[in-house]
Amino acid sequence: MQKDQRQAALLKLISAERIASQAELARRLRSRNFDVTQASISRDLEELGVIKSSGIYTVPRKPSGAAVFGLRGLETSGDSLVVVKCDSGLASAAAVQIDAARIPEIVGTIAGDDTIFVAVRDARAQRTAMKRIWEAFDK
């Protein structure tokens, strides 16, 4: 099955159940006929921005201010890039908001019509930058 379907199933599981380990996620996904490994689960969690809170995987909520800027989601690309998807025409305004937040992990931003490329220092900085980008819109 395709990555998008697997990731959708993963998000549905995390939203519906209290899951504390990647092994448990793998078992649940395999029972739904997805061929997964721990590595694919780990990559999916990172790409989807899933966090662990109080020992349980959770999907971060979109901040209320995200709607004003049309933020649709964030995902990683490589080790030093975060891709921010927005509604058409709103990427520049959202990039200004990100830049104004002065997030130390961010080296720079480039905005198009509906996409922002956010350069970060390294793979470790991606997670922190993603969290702080969402926080920048929580107003």
pLDDT value at 111 more than 60:
yes
- Clarify whether residues 53 and 91 are in a common domain: no
pLDDT tier at 67, thresholds 50, 70, 90: low
Nearest in space to 42 (alpha carbons), one of 17, 68, 10: 10
- Clarify whether residues 69 and 119 are in a common domain: yes
- Clarify whether residues 13 and 72 are in a common domain: no
- Clarify whether residues 82 and 31 are in a common domain: no
Amino acid 52: pLDDT: 78
- Spell out the residues 6+ positions from residue 54 whose beta carbon is closer than 8 angstroms to its own: none
- Cα end-to-end distance, the chain, whole Å: 39
For Cα atoms 85, 21, 42, give the angle at the middle one, nearest 5 degrees: 40
- Clarify whether residues 78 and 48 are in a common domain: no
Provide the domain count of the chain.
2
What CATH number should be reported for the domain holding residue 50? 1.10.10.10
- Clarify whether residues 18 and 74 are in a common domain: no
- Spell out the residues 6+ positions from residue 105 whose beta carbon is closer than 8 angstroms to its own: 120, 121, 125, 126, 128, 129, 132
Print the domain residue range for 31. 3-58
pLDDT value at 116 more than 90:
yes
pLDDT in tens, 27-65: 999 999 999 998 889 888 877 778 777 788 887 666 666
- Clarify whether residues 74 and 111 are in a common domain: yes
| Model pTM score | 0.59
- Clarify whether residues 36 and 68 are in a common domain: no
- Clarify whether residues 38 and 85 are in a common domain: no
Laid out side by side, the sheet with 71-77 consists of 71-77, 81-86, 115-120, 106-111
Of 49-53, 77-81, 97-101, the range with the highest mean pLDDT is 97-101
- Clarify whether residues 24 and 77 are in a common domain: no
pLDDT value at 1 more than 60:
no
